[in-house]
Amino acid sequence: MLKKARQFALCAHGEQLYGELPYSVHLDAVARILKPYGSAAIVIGYLHDVLEDTPVSETMIADQFGARIARCVQLVSDPPGKTRRERKKQANARLAAIDQDSEEALALVVKTADRLANLEACIAGGNEEKLEMYLAEHDQFVEAVYRPALCEDLWKRIKRTIES
């Protein structure tokens, strides 16, 4: 299932780049971060950007990977909007409504791993502009996504990354 998800995502993203790197670099970074959380988290991690960045639909994901995976991918995807601020406001409201004890809580873990991967990539690549954007959004992100005792290790890594 992991190989299938990775291949599905790579095919969907095609020639899309992550900065100047192949998009696989970002997807593999998210998958590595999610390894302790199990195969479902990794599958969602590989698929986390296909709805917002490619022509793939939630139905296509459900057909290939099941309804739970598709719903979690939908939850971590930014909805359409005119500006990043508008998209993030809608996405954060949706994430804030997820019950920590539901099956959908896995979406919160994936969203946290994605943010950690993005922060680490900004620092490693010296992308100050993008890092500043993430830092400016950080309080709203935490308010929407953080749940006590859910992926605390990732939140500690985010804190260390931001403070470094």
pLDDT, tens digit, 9 for 90 and up, residues 27-82 = 999 999 999 999 999 999 999 999 999 999 999 999 999 999 999 999 999 998 89
pTM: 0.95
Q: Give me the number of domains the chain comprises.
A: 1
Q: Which range of residues forms the domain containing residue 61?
A: 2-163
The token duo for 80 is: 């359409």
Q: Which CATH number fits the domain that encloses residue 85?
A: 1.10.3210.10
Q: In this structure, are strands 21-22 and 17-18 parallel, antiparallel, or unpaired?
A: antiparallel
pLDDT digits (tens, 9 = 90+) for 109-161: 999 999 999 999 999 999 999 999 999 999 999 999 999 999 999 999 999 99
Alpha-carbon separation of residue 95 from 35, 119, 147 (angstroms): 22, 19, 11
